Structure 1
Amino acid sequence: MKYLIVSGMDESHDREHDNAGCPYQYTFFNEIILKEDQRASIDILKTYKENLKLFPYQNYDVFIWTGGLGNIYLPNIHNRNQLYVCERILSLNKPLWGSCWGLQVIATCYGDKIVKAKKPEFGFSDNIKIIKNHHIYDDKEDLFTAPGHHYDHLENINSDFEIITQNEISIQSISHKSMNIFCTQYHPELPYIFISKLMTHWKKNYLEIMSNDEFNKIIKKLYLLEENDMYVRKKEFRAWLNTN
Structure 2
Amino acid sequence: MEILVLEGNIAEVREHNRRLTGRTPGEAYADVLQKLDPLVRCEILCPADRDDVGLDHLARYRGVVITGSALNAYQDIPPVQRQVKLALQIFESGLPFFGSCWGLQVAVVAAGGEVIRNERGREVGYSRAVQLTEAGRGHPMHVGRPQVFDTPAVHSDHVSRLPENAVVTAFNEVSEVQALEIRHGNGVFWGVQYHPEFSLRDIAATLRRYGPRLIKEEGSFQTVDELETYARNLEILEDMPDRKDIAWQYALGADLLDPSRRQVEIRNWLDHCRREALRNAA
| CA displacement at 1:80 relative to structure 2 | 1.3
Kept after mapping to 1: 8 A contact 2:20/2:205: yes
| CA displacement at 1:220 relative to structure 2 | 7.9
Equivalent residue for 2:200?
192
Which of 257, 260, 273 is equivalent to 1:229?
Answer: 257
Which range is displaced more, 190-199 or 215-224? 215-224
| CA displacement at 1:98 relative to structure 2 | 0.6
Equivalent residue for 2:98?
97
| CA displacement at 1:24 relative to structure 2 | 1.3
Q: How does 1:163-242 map to 2 (within 5 A)?
A: 163-170=168-175, 171-177=177-183, 179-209=187-217, 210=219, 212-213=221-222, 216=227, 219=231, 224=247, 225=252, 229-231=257-259, 232-242=261-271
SS at match of 1:149: strand
SS at match of 1:242: helix
| CA displacement at 1:184 relative to structure 2 | 0.3
Structure 1 residues 177, 198: closer, same or farther in 2, change over 3 A? closer
Structure 1 residues 32, 200: closer, same or farther in 2, change over 3 A? closer
Kept after mapping to 2: 8 A contact 1:22/1:198: no
Kept after mapping to 1: 8 A contact 2:215/2:222: no
Which range is displaced more, 34-43 or 79-88? 34-43
SS at match of 1:169: coil
| CA displacement at 1:160 relative to structure 2 | 1.0
Greater relative contact order: 1 or 2 (C-alpha under 8 angstroms, separation 6 or more)?
1
Kept after mapping to 2: 8 A contact 1:6/1:45: yes
| CA displacement at 1:52 relative to structure 2 | 3.8
Structure 1 residues 220, 38: closer, same or farther in 2, change over 3 A? closer
Structure number with larger C-alpha Rg: 2
Count residues with an aligned counterpart: 244
Cα deviations across residues 85-139 of structure 1 (Å, max 9, x unaligned)?
1122111011000100000100000110101001210111001000122123221
Q: Aligned equivalents of 1:139 and 1:165: distance in 2?
A: 14
For structure 2, the residue ranges without an aligned partner over 5 or more in a row are 238-246, 274-282
Q: Aligned equivalents of 1:211 and 1:70: distance in 2?
A: 22
Runs of 4+ in 1 over 4 A off after TM superposition: 217-223
Q: Aligned equivalents of 1:187 and 1:43: distance in 2?
A: 20
TM-score normalised to structure 2 length: 0.78
Q: How does 1:115-194 map to 2 (within 5 A)?
A: 115-118=116-119, 119-131=121-133, 132=135, 133=137, 134-170=139-175, 171-177=177-183, 179-194=187-202
Q: CA RMSD in A?
A: 2.4
SS at match of 1:243: helix
Kept after mapping to 2: 8 A contact 1:25/1:190: no
Cα deviations across residues 156-200 of structure 1 (Å, max 9, x unaligned)?
213311000000111100013584310000000111321222322
Higher helix proportion: 2
SS at match of 1:91: helix
Kept after mapping to 1: 8 A contact 2:91/2:188: no
Which range is displaced more, 108-117 or 26-35? 26-35
Cα deviations across residues 53-107 of structure 1 (Å, max 9, x unaligned)?
5871222120001000011111111011111211221110110001000001000
Structure 1 residues 175, 218: closer, same or farther in 2, change over 3 A? farther
| CA displacement at 1:211 relative to structure 2 | 5.6
Which range is displaced more, 32-41 or 68-77? 32-41
TM-score normalised to structure 1 length: 0.90
Q: Aligned equivalents of 2:68 and 2:253: distance in 1?
A: 19
For structure 1, the residue ranges without an aligned partner over 5 or more in a row are none
Q: Aligned equivalents of 1:32 and 1:54: distance in 2?
A: 25
SS at match of 1:69: coil
Q: How does 1:75-86 map to 2 (within 5 A)?
A: 75-86=76-87
